[in-house]
Structure 1
Amino acid sequence: MIVKFQLSFGLDDAQANFNIHKDSVYICGSSKALGSWDLREAVELKSKVTDTCGENCSLSLSSLSLSSSSSCEVYLENLPTNVLEFEATIDLNESFEALVAESVEYKYFIAQKMSDQKDTRVFLKQIEYNPRKLELTNSSLLSYQVVDKWPLVGVDNKSTRIDHGWLLNGENEVQFHFFKYPLQLWHVEPKSLCYDIVPWKASNGLHELKDYCVHNSDFDENQIVNDKMTKFNAFNCPGVYSTYKIRTYEALSDLLFQVNVYEIDELGKPSDKYLATGYFKINRSVIESSVMEMDLSMLNSNQIVGSLKSEVLLITSLNEDSNYKIRKNYNYHFNRSCIPIGHRGMGKTFDAGTLPGTEYVENTIDSFREAYNRGAQMVEFDVVLTKDNIPIVYHDFMFCIDRLVETSSSKYLSIGVNQLTYDEVKQSRVFSQKILKNTEMTDELQHFFTSKFMFPTLKEMCTQLDPKLGFNVEIKYPLDLEDGSHEISNHLKWLNRNQYVDRILQELYACCQDEQRCVIISTFDPNLCSIIRMKQNKFPVLFLTNGVTNKWVPYKDARCKNTQRSFSFARAESLHGIVAHAEELTRDMHIINLLFSHTEKTANFLAYSWGDDLNDLDKRQQLTQLGINGIIYDRINESF
């Protein structure tokens, strides 16, 4: 059976720059002729636009383009129509009866090709979340013509999710984060500024880097209100936070970046010449730490004219072959109904406060199993790594062990989770850090809070609990606090974010091969959110937030300040949702109305909530009625 696939999309729906010279549209599906869901075997569609404007044109779908690599720019008004069209004729090598018996599914994706046509590697830029089905109705036809539009329209005539891709094997991404007023230019006060960043290869001289992919995800504090992305890479605009991302297959140690600052004219376009420029070289400290702060001197005519501050984030690829499989981007269906989620299983044990007691110790297999028996569709738990990089389920960064000699202060000694191997944890009397808060605990009760019962591995969670029980895996990572302190002692050196995440993801990949178990990942660290999002396409990533609260010292990171800003960051980064603290949600109806009105408009965006306030039945019911997707609370046996 020969099938001609035709795809068209309106320019406003493409959601990204489409470079006709570099980018291609591909189709991949369940049939062998469509690649058997392996994007390396996908079929490239032919673009009809190249017949109109030639091969060396670049099509910019944004209102501002700083690209200088193409010989001509084609804007919306210059095109014959506002629609791009692509097509491919494919012989599926199967009969009509066989294709009907086992329906063919497929997806479209956009990828940027390498300049060397012999190089089969690509940058995956956009991909459909939901698969399409090939509908065949007439057995007498020898060929079919399928006419599709991008994006795919789903239930209730809503567009389904388009993901922005992820890092493929050997690929890296460097992100520059510019927060509030990062640029200082001395003796120059232009009204509006923007920037671009040009990568160079600094190996045996300085060379132009030909193969790289650029993307930015600017957002502002009011984005949740006006639902609009910033149209350029803005500097020093109140409330604007800009991220510039460059993906490449080049060796990280060979990369040098040129940062150019431009003045914007009254038409919203950059001037022909930049006001200042600076250079940043990837060095060993960036590679070893994954995140560092940059303070760059800005030059003009070889004179220092200012300075630029930025956070630099390095994301390396996970290098899993399964990342090329695209049948189902995530092993989780985006359920719009509200689900009950057991906090640490049956709930907190050590800092439970006025909660009714439970015989199940938090974060133990028994507690998670009982939560499932009591109606939890999912359980929430924290994961940290031991010294030998075994992912275990535990809430804190520190353990307690018995002192060899008791002192008047305490009989326990605090020790970092990453200072003991897993065997040492299980063979010793290791306690939860929370035992320090309970000085009246008897020896008999202490027995239940040791490593004999606690600290299951992530592997044990996957193998010993029913596969129908979903996992909300919170990845713990120590962060800087607003008061200048840190969540752990300075002498404890944590694995860098890339190594840390890789180990946990590899364990999840190995343990969650069957798609029965729904798994989502959440974390308080916005950089960790970006890293996990770009490393894989198997598990949804949710930004976990404290919001505005007096219960804890706030995090230093600007993206964590309040729920509204956290939501804007999650949207800009194409995360799959947020886990908002109930205190701010239930206190501020303005936030909750904005959040739920926009999650309804956004395809496949999850909104969960957590916090002590949700141990109150009335507040659980309030959020449920407003449309929250999941509620994390402590005593799952109580009414939902």
Structure 2
Amino acid sequence: MSQVADNSCLKQSIYTIDGMGEGKQDWKFCVRVDTLLQESVLVVGSCPDLGNWNSAGAVELTSEGEGTWSGVISIPRDCNVMFRYFVGIVFKPDEEKFTSRQVIVRRWETNLNPRIIHKGVVSNNQQVMEPDIFGLYDSCKMTDRGWLTTETVVQFKLFENPIQFWKHKYEGRKVHIKLTPLMLSKGRTLVEYTPTSDIFEESMDTQDVGEERDKWPITEIAVMNENEWEFQLQEQFGRAYNPNDCIIFSVSMHFPEAVAYMMDYYMYSSSSVENSPPYHIGFSYILPSMMSSSEGQAIVPITSRSHRPIGQLKFDYLVVHPISGYECDMSVSYSRIWKKTWQGLDVGHRGLGTSFKLEVAECADVRENTIASLKNAASAGADLVEFDIQLSKDLIPVLYHDFHVCIALKHKKQLAEHDMLELPVKELTLEQLQHLKVYHLAEGKNKSQRFFDEDLEEHQPFPTLHRALDSVDPHVGFNIEIKWTMQLKDGTYELNHPFDLNMYLDTILKVVLHSAGSRKIIFSCFHPDICTMLRLKQNKYPVIFLTQGVTKKYPAYRDPRTQTMSMAVNYAISAGILGINAHTEDILRDTTQVKMVMDAGLIIFCWGDDNNNPATIKHLKQLGIHGVIYDKIDKYSSKEVKESIFLVEAREMQNQLLKAAEELEDASQSPLPSISLPPTSEFELDDLENTQKRLSATSVLSS
């Protein structure tokens, strides 16, 4: 697992960007990396010869043995060429399955700045050089798992005593489980699967484990504990299921509609000797038709070797597809980048704060989740603003916290008991939400209108996500919380959601990926599966897991990953996300948990009503919390200068660039063109073009 970057990793280079010339030279790329049998090593970069950062156009290197891969590629010689190595699986075009080359990104170099071959450097093709080390350069090593390019990931989650046997002889005995995908099709034509004869033998999985490493689909397993959180290939006879385990099987594949799954069950005989294999007691089949939606739950029978039902398996599933209509490139990733200076950040809750609490004195003076609220928080010095996103009926991402609203049946000055109709936000179009007389649930319950701002456009509820990205100061970061119904521990749901989860997230992600520019973005959600999907669907923005942990204030969720901070940590490092956003009630109960999170290489934010106190905010920052989310930031913030940290850093970087330009001007005694303000994100290399065109040599500045 790659770790959170420190300042030594965050070095900004100023690169010369000239027109792409016709001159070419051969360049030898050579890297050392451990791979599995079916994996290849590829190189991708900033020129057409290296795929223009598109993984599908990357160049496959040749194995030289002992973990070394190399290849000679013709690249431009009259401009800087940037590149990265990655480990992937390459599928060549064929008539039955793929009409074009498919490349799966398994692991890739995620150092903030890519590797670079400088303009004018002579070809290394005739030199004897040490291989590069995968992920290691600029005094920092960072690699990460890939994201979904063309493949689909299906996950099966087992928890809450999911395996039940009806035969007495199996009660109280430890069972080992193993999941195997079954290709039901040849090409795209479904054919019947016929079990092999050894299904009836003592063990149906006696082949060497290594034989499975060269197969696609790929099946991996992780257990949400301190030792087994990392996804690994399965053992020959699977993994023992223990009480209170939370096990996740993850299968990567193409054509999920043509893949079924077999769960095998093994037990060791009480009379077995050392190194003897377990015996196979039965199996379950999971058909693709059982997973008609992106998420759900199902129960399948456990069948004995003689095809008699002996028990049942209860599981939750998740199907994750790539983003529809958008391709991520490999030029840069911020998903695991966090500077050491980004600590104790002030995060405006729903903008300037919650505005519908029972005690009016505790409410923000501006309606929450509005453009006005976000702008006021920015003016008060918020480093980031947190807000909630959900979809309207016509699939427009809008800012709103609650799943329901109240609508007045008649326009009255005084609201009576039956004058309000409660409706889910999902049942109203954007036009209806923005033009009907809509009240917050608290206003409906109290029969008292809280705000009278119909004539103020920026104070209106339900602004679109696109407008928020376009309207708020780009130096202010966004913490975007994805709203989605959760299942409570008693089995009930917060809302019956009609949207397909893949479509829901794709709609939100495409708005951000197209419109966020250089703004700092963090995604968050209480639903761990959504955090998993946000991580797998895109490679650019970080994700943090919102968790209640141990609480007396809210009902517990069913998913065990949500119930304690230790489980949240195990899940976060397993999913490869940036960190967690913990409930302050749980932190104050046991402050040592903050160190536990940071020792795991994760960042930690916190949320909750406990934060709405200057003394508590100060205490949380002293504990090392990276971001404190609180209300009324205009009143509770202790900042002397009301500016976001990202604006301060952008100004410092501008001064560094000006100083570097002046030094070059003095050295060359020639005038330089004016230098424009660099972008809010000092990591966006392409946006430095005004400065880069003049600086012919590479100058490395500490960011």
- The TM-score bracket by the shorter chain reads 0.7 to 0.9
Supply the AA of the counterpart residue of 2:425.
V
From 606, 609, 622, give the equivalent of 2:606.
609
Structure 1 range deviating more: 270-279 or 420-429: 270-279
From 405, 423, 429, give the equivalent of 2:431.
423
Q: Secondary structure at the match of 1:134?
A: strand
Deviation at 1:33, TM superposition (A): 2.3
Report the counterpart of residue 327 of structure 1 in structure 2.
331
From 36, 48, 63, give the equivalent of 1:19.
36
Report the counterpart of residue 654 of structure 2 in structure 1.
none
Q: Secondary structure at the match of 1:554?
A: coil
Supply the AA of the counterpart residue of 2:109.
E
1:302 paired with 2:307, answer yes
Deviation at 1:414, TM superposition (A): 0.5
Deviations along 1:561-596, whole A, 9 cap, x unmatched? 111111111111112221111111121123222112
Structure 1 range deviating more: 384-393 or 128-137: 128-137
8 Å contact 1:216–1:242 — kept in the other structure? no
* TM superposition score normalised by structure 2: 0.75
Change (3 A) 1:355 1:408: closer
Report the counterpart of residue 318 of structure 1 in structure 2.
323
Deviations along 1:511-540, whole A, 9 cap, x unmatched? 22x2x1111111111111122222222222
Question: RCO higher in 1 or 2 (8 Å CA, sep ≥ 6)?
Answer: 2
- Counterpart CA distance in 2 for 1:211 and 1:229 is 17
8 Å contact 1:167–1:317 — kept in the other structure? yes
Deviations along 1:576-623, whole A, 9 cap, x unmatched? 221111111121123222112222xxxxx3322111122222332233
Larger radius of gyration between Structure 1 and Structure 2: 2
From 516, 519, 523, give the equivalent of 1:517.
519
Structure 1: 5+ residue runs without aligned partners?
A: 12-17, 50-82, 600-604
Report the counterpart of residue 65 of structure 1 in structure 2.
none
Q: Secondary structure at the match of 1:517?
A: coil
Structure 1 range deviating more: 378-387 or 534-543: 534-543
Deviations along 1:269-318, whole A, 9 cap, x unmatched? 893763321111111x6223532333333332222232222112111221
Change (3 A) 1:350 1:547: same
- Counterpart CA distance in 1 for 2:523 and 2:296 is 20
Q: Secondary structure at the match of 2:43?
A: strand
- Counterpart CA distance in 2 for 1:268 and 1:519 is 54
From 379, 385, 388, give the equivalent of 1:382.
388
8 Å contact 1:211–1:248 — kept in the other structure? no
Q: Secondary structure at the match of 2:246?
A: strand
1:368 paired with 2:365, answer no
1:167 paired with 2:148, answer yes
Structure 1 range deviating more: 299-308 or 266-275: 266-275
8 Å contact 1:212–1:246 — kept in the other structure? no
Change (3 A) 1:538 1:526: same
8 Å contact 1:387–1:420 — kept in the other structure? yes
Report the counterpart of residue 26 of structure 2 in structure 1.
2
Report the counterpart of residue 497 of structure 1 in structure 2.
501
Report the counterpart of residue 408 of structure 2 in structure 1.
402
Supply the AA of the counterpart residue of 2:71.
A
Report the counterpart of residue 454 of structure 1 in structure 2.
461
Structure 2: 5+ residue runs without aligned partners?
A: 1-24, 195-211, 639-703
Q: Secondary structure at the match of 1:206?
A: coil
Deviation at 1:139, TM superposition (A): 5.2
Which residues of 2 match residues 435-450 of structure 1 at below 5 A?
435-441=443-449, 445=452
Two-structure CA RMSD over aligned residues (Å): 3.2
- Counterpart CA distance in 1 for 2:90 and 2:280 is 29
Report the counterpart of residue 122 of structure 1 in structure 2.
103
Deviation at 1:175, TM superposition (A): 1.1
- Counterpart CA distance in 1 for 2:589 and 2:445 is 30
Q: Secondary structure at the match of 2:292?
A: helix
Report the counterpart of residue 284 of structure 2 in structure 1.
278
Change (3 A) 1:359 1:493: closer
- Counterpart CA distance in 2 for 1:588 and 1:229 is 29
Deviation at 1:436, TM superposition (A): 2.8
Report the counterpart of residue 639 of structure 1 in structure 2.
637
8 Å contact 1:177–1:241 — kept in the other structure? yes
Change (3 A) 1:117 1:486: closer
Report the counterpart of residue 349 of structure 1 in structure 2.
355
* TM superposition score normalised by structure 1: 0.81
Deviations along 1:15-53, whole A, 9 cap, x unmatched? xxx432x2111111123322221111111111233xxxx
Deviation at 1:426, TM superposition (A): 1.6
Q: Secondary structure at the match of 2:324?
A: coil
Identity across the alignment (%): 26
Q: Secondary structure at the match of 1:199?
A: strand
8 Å contact 2:320–2:533 — kept in the other structure? yes
From 455, 461, 479, give the equivalent of 2:486.
479
Deviation at 1:472, TM superposition (A): 0.8
From 233, 236, 241, give the equivalent of 2:241.
236
Report the counterpart of residue 47 of structure 1 in structure 2.
63
Change (3 A) 1:596 1:204: closer
- Counterpart CA distance in 2 for 1:229 and 1:123 is 17
- Counterpart CA distance in 2 for 1:405 and 1:356 is 28
Q: Secondary structure at the match of 1:276?
A: strand
Change (3 A) 1:295 1:349: same
Report the counterpart of residue 467 of structure 1 in structure 2.
474
8 Å contact 1:610–1:633 — kept in the other structure? yes
- Counterpart CA distance in 1 for 2:437 and 2:366 is 19
Deviations along 1:213-261, whole A, 9 cap, x unmatched? 32434133445xx9887885534224432111122221x4332211122
Which residues of 2 match residues 31-70 of structure 1 at below 5 A?
31-49=47-65
- Counterpart CA distance in 2 for 1:175 and 1:332 is 23
Report the counterpart of residue 183 of structure 2 in structure 1.
200
Supply the AA of the counterpart residue of 2:357.
D
Q: Secondary structure at the match of 2:28?
A: strand
Report the counterpart of residue 253 of structure 1 in structure 2.
257
- Counterpart CA distance in 2 for 1:500 and 1:381 is 17
Deviations along 1:462-495, whole A, 9 cap, x unmatched? 111122221111110111112333213xxx5421
Structure 1 range deviating more: 613-622 or 34-43: 613-622
Structure 1 range deviating more: 590-599 or 378-387: 590-599
- Counterpart CA distance in 2 for 1:412 and 1:527 is 35
Report the counterpart of residue 570 of structure 2 in structure 1.
568
Report the counterpart of residue 13 of structure 2 in structure 1.
none
- Counterpart CA distance in 2 for 1:5 and 1:507 is 37
8 Å contact 1:469–1:518 — kept in the other structure? yes
Structure 1 range deviating more: 127-136 or 310-319: 127-136
From 72, 78, 87, give the equivalent of 1:110.
87
Deviation at 1:397, TM superposition (A): 0.4
Change (3 A) 1:597 1:268: farther
Deviations along 1:73-116, whole A, 9 cap, x unmatched? xxxxxxxxxx622112222231xxx35xx3x3221111123376
Report the counterpart of residue 660 of structure 2 in structure 1.
none
From 419, 441, 464, give the equivalent of 1:411.
419
8 Å contact 1:296–1:308 — kept in the other structure? yes
Supply the AA of the counterpart residue of 2:332.
K
